[in-house]
Structure 1
Amino acid sequence: MLCSTCRLRPPVTDDGRCLLCAGPAGAAAPMPPAPAFIAPQQYLRSPEGLAKAVVVLLAVVAAADLLAVAAGLNTRRVIAAGLENDFAAYDEAEAALADNLSGTAGVLQTLASLATAVVFIIWFRRVRLNAEVFDPSMQPMRPGWSIGARFVPIADLVLPRRIAGGIWTASAQTNTDGSRHTVPATVMNLWWGFWVVSLISSQYATRRSWKAEQPQEILDTTALVVASDALDIVAAVFAVLFVRRLPRMQGERAALGMYPLGAPGLSGRADWGRAH
């Protein structure tokens, strides 16, 4: 629609005239208020497919850990039996089998952990980008850190949890009056806490096992390794709960269609129904 007088410029007054044709009276006419919220859609993408892949891989990690626990307990049994009679009746074939079982479990743990780490980071970046649309003001670090934080020594024990907290808060539903709905972060805290403890205990047990030479030392360090594997199983369980909960939160938030003014991705269509 153009000005009803000059037919050149868009109208700004109730009678259809542009700013120049309306004169001083038109210049004083109030502009319509900007909406407090708008609905960006372009960058919202469902993390559900990636979440399912992470859950499957975490189950594989837990299974490999269970195998490692069984192998460790078997190794302790073989060594303890030898210590009872000063290895006078030590079964070398059984000892070799125990070593092979432990080695196989270790390889499976490494492969499963690497695959899980790669897919988890991809999933984590996806939910972080969604959180940027929901509420960028709640994000303590830029989106690239959702990947980079994992590769910073020492800081990788703190930064990913900080990023996850911003994602969690931004992904919570907003109430009808625009206020934020608080969702307890217990699952997220337990996941991260057990993961950090299991990681530190695993590194400590591994270093101790490298130095162990005497049978009693091997017996003691094997117990440490078994304990760290058990902690990793618990961490994997809470990780599954976290990975399943967060996409549901983001799906519920996306269904509201209300996001803070100034968020990126202000055009396009949401692609929540399909996972990529």
Structure 2
Amino acid sequence: MLRNPNGLSYAVVALLAVTAVLDVIAVLAALALRGEPWAEGQADLTVALLSLVQLLLYVATVVLWIVWFHRTRLNAEVWAPAEHSRTTGWAIGAWFIPFANLWIPRNIAAEIWRASRPDPSAPDASGELRLLNGWWTLFVLENVADRIASRLYDKAETADAYVDAASWLAVSNALNLAAAVLAILFVRKLTSMQHLKATGMISAAQ
């Protein structure tokens, strides 16, 4: 049975948009902290506040994203059950497997995309997966940059060390900003594809 992903997509896009705005603030804050002397206490307070807000937003976004992603995967199963290499449960579980979550969800997303096309078995057109691949590349790079920034911040004991950590925080948030923008475009495009395909099936059945 097909499931309507439209409502969930609006919520996901809204949270991603808020994420992008917060990333802009975080980048500007990190760059400002790099440009002037600041004490360890100021660094701790600034990073802690931004990190807390970003964490809360991240959790909310992840929950809605996974629900939306799983719903699109269920729809893809209806249209092209033979075109998937993993069961529908992987659309949820794959995000929580360390290291494997850096490539398995992308592969699932590509299979959902193909199943949502008019002809699921058709070969990929040139550049067809550019949006997906661009978003996923930024997503992986942001995860790497965030790990580096966190480690540098945890080990920082001097002003210079905190400045270096702030630089990586700026890089991480800039990558997250770009990834959020492409994620919005991906969500809108895939949801639109599924809506059009579902509407076409209903019209054909009538």
Who is 2:87 aligned against? 142
Structure 2: give runs of 5+ residues left out of the alignment: none
Q: In the TM superposition, what is the alpha-carbon distance from 1:139 to its structure 2 partner?
A: 1.0
Aligned-residue CA RMSD (Å): 2.2
Q: Deviations over 1:146-193 (max 9, x none)?
A: 00001111101011001111100000013xxx9748561111111111
Larger % of helix: which? Answer: 2
Of 132, 140, 154, which residue of structure 2 is paired with 1:210? 154
CA change 1:99–1:223 in 2 (3 A) is same
CA change 1:209–1:102 in 2 (3 A) is closer
Of 177, 181, 203, which residue of structure 2 is paired with 1:233? 177
Query: For residues 44 and 96 of structure 2, what CA distance do their matches in structure 1 show?
Result: 32
CA change 1:233–1:54 in 2 (3 A) is same
Query: For residues 193 and 249 of structure 1, what CA distance do their matches in structure 2 show?
Result: 22
CA change 1:143–1:70 in 2 (3 A) is same
Whose Rg is larger?
Answer: 1
| Runs of at least 4 residues off by over 6 Å | none
The answer as to whether partners of 1:71 and 1:105 remain within 8 angstroms in 2 is: no
Amino acid at match of 1:239: A
Query: For residues 207 and 101 of structure 1, what CA distance do their matches in structure 2 show?
Result: 17
1:224 matches 2:133: no
Who is 1:53 aligned against? 11
Query: For residues 211 and 71 of structure 1, what CA distance do their matches in structure 2 show?
Result: 20
- Aligned-residue sequence identity (percent) comes to 40
The answer as to whether partners of 1:128 and 1:167 remain within 8 angstroms in 2 is: yes
Query: For residues 43 and 162 of structure 2, what CA distance do their matches in structure 1 show?
Result: 13
The answer as to whether partners of 1:75 and 1:99 remain within 8 angstroms in 2 is: no
Of 63, 75, 82, which residue of structure 2 is paired with 1:130? 75
Query: For residues 94 and 194 of structure 2, what CA distance do their matches in structure 1 show?
Result: 22
Aligned pairs for 1:1-276 within 5 A: 43-79=1-37, 99-174=44-119, 180=122, 182=124, 184-257=128-201
Query: For residues 148 and 60 of structure 2, what CA distance do their matches in structure 1 show?
Result: 23
CA change 1:62–1:220 in 2 (3 A) is same
CA change 1:129–1:179 in 2 (3 A) is closer
Q: In the TM superposition, what is the alpha-carbon distance from 1:204 to its structure 2 partner?
A: 1.3
The answer as to whether partners of 2:17 and 2:180 remain within 8 angstroms in 1 is: yes
Q: In the TM superposition, what is the alpha-carbon distance from 1:98 to its structure 2 partner?
A: 6.1
Query: For residues 208 and 161 of structure 1, what CA distance do their matches in structure 2 show?
Result: 29
3-state DSSP of counterpart to 2:86: coil
Aligned length: 201
Query: For residues 195 and 118 of structure 2, what CA distance do their matches in structure 1 show?
Result: 9
Who is 1:40 aligned against? none
The answer as to whether partners of 2:43 and 2:162 remain within 8 angstroms in 1 is: no
TM-score norm. by structure 2 comes to 0.90
Amino acid at match of 2:155: K
